[in-house]
Structure 1
């Protein structure tokens, strides 16, 4: 045997070892229950707690919408802008939304043009984006129809995941905001109080409620602008409380939150820049 043949026969790279796999039987797949429209029937179900339990700690909701669904009120705090206070230059508005436990659940900020903020002031058009604690966008609102022309109607349309979910409208010389929910035939009306329609100096130094009515005249909620106190003289930042029934649909609660932003722009945005209570009113 030659040297070449002897080397090739003893080389481990020339041997093709093919492993033999034994095919194992597959385990049976798990059969998951299918969705159904009606809840399952639980035998011997207990409808309500027989005793009242106290002293336990509440678990935080998994999302902002879950927290709003369980709340009967929201607090909206407008952030103070130091640059705006020192220079008088209008900056984009920012807001923080708290639930009924005063936990921060939402953040909103305005997106607008510098010239619109300088020229159109409280009638400027803008986009308002809302985020949760995870910095994920939850909703957006667009105001249009305002601008420098005071003879046009005012609109605020709210968007959720690319779909329009509600429209808030206020006609010229009207002190009512009309809220229409997408796919819902019921219309809501938010009425501005007399203090917001009278002398601008009066509308800024008091707690002003904006009641919310449903068709037929029943009151279903209230948007309250709290008295800013001494902060009134240095800033136009305000705080609002939104009251509504706990079982109100979440989408309507969110639209009332969007209406709070438009109320803030319409009546309380230009204070401090052009004198006391310098708000454009009709």
Structure 2
């Protein structure tokens, strides 16, 4: 190979490199500058996807106060009886103890409502529940406005909203009009339906009462809220209800918090009247 051939091949190789460089620059100009999304300070980002479980893919950012919900697939909610309320016809603010599967206390939920509303409106009253951690710091706030308890009129259906300690909306639980059985929709912060919750037709029988939680298309079972039966003597004399709440461990922690608010709502709407009857049956 003489010098002229070497010059030709070298020139051809450099030309191809220049053409390739031009094509790469055009491609980058078409795509535009890449933007990196910064994480919000103090927040943790998770991504989960499981289309077979029946709930939609979740990409959520949540405050660190909700990290306690991440490893949980079951929690137990126990309404703490108040000594004055048990002995007298005096409606006091409710308190709940939230525990994990091992019985370790996670949170304490304390009701905030007026004495006039508790005495005059009963279970229809408006309230705020402050969910506190072990250090007495507020983690969640569950709010409910005044609502009539009758299922015959669709003009005043039940609704609770769940917020962080900073007031950020996590989601809501809204009642669906149904004269036969309890029916609710679990919604996220954007008011998009995420899950459905349905209770039994009859709630007056003894034994455990299950409120089934399903996917929005009703094809998959996602969880359950169970009102525990503690035995006849304890159910009659103890002014307190116990609930079990089960859900997938990889469910969005925001929806887990909303389901805890649904547990409070279920107790007030369907089992508060039974507690009042037990209290009124006691001699003064």
- Return the TM-score normalized by structure 2: 0.68
Partner of 2:109: 108
Which deviations, in whole Å up to 9, do the C-alpha atoms of 1:159-212 show, x marking residues without a partner?
A: 11111111111145552011111137442111011232xxx4x2xx21011110
Instruction: Say if 2:224 is the partner of 1:222.
Output: yes
Match of residue 156 from structure 1: 160
Q: Out of 172, 178, 197, which is 2:185 matched to?
A: 178
**Rg comparison, structure with higher value:** 1
Structure holding more helix per residue: 2
Q: Number of matched residues?
A: 214
Distance 2:274 2:150 in 1: 20
Partners of 1:66 and 1:124 in 2: CA distance: 31
Change beyond 3 A, Cα 1:206–1:66: same
Quote how far apart the aligned CAs of 1:154 are: 1.4
* Structure 1 moving runs of 4+ over 4 Å: 147-150, 171-174, 275-278
2:273 is equivalent to residue 266 of structure 1: no
* 1:124-273 alignment runs, 5 A limit: 124-147=125-148, 151=153, 152-160=156-164, 161-174=166-179, 175-183=182-190, 185-196=192-203, 200=204, 202=205, 205-217=206-218, 218-229=220-231, 230-273=233-276
Contact 2:239-2:278 within 8 A present in 1 as well: no
Task: Report the 3-state secondary structure (helix = DSSP H, G, I; strand = E; otherwise coil) of the residue aligned with 1:269.
Answer: helix
Deviation at 1:136, TM superposition (A): 0.8
| TM-score between both structures, scaled by the size of structure 1 | 0.69
Given that residues 67 and 99 in structure 1 are in contact (C-alpha distance below 8 angstroms), is that contact kept between their aligned partners in structure 2?
Answer: no
Structure 1 residues not aligned, in runs of 5+: 1-34, 38-62
Contact 1:186 1:214 in 2 (8 A): no
Alignment partners' CA distance in 2, 1:194 and 1:93: 27
Do the aligned partners of residues 254 and 214 (structure 1) sit closer, same or farther apart at CA in structure 2, a change above 3 Å counting? same
Distance 1:163 1:266 in 2: 25
CA-CA distance at 1:127 after TM superposition? 0.8
The whole-number CA distance in structure 1 between the counterparts of 2:278 and 2:96 is 24
1: CA distance, partners of 2:280 / 2:214: 28
Larger RCO, structures 1/2 (Cα 8 Å, 6+ apart)? 2
CA distance in 1, matches of 2:121, 2:191: 33
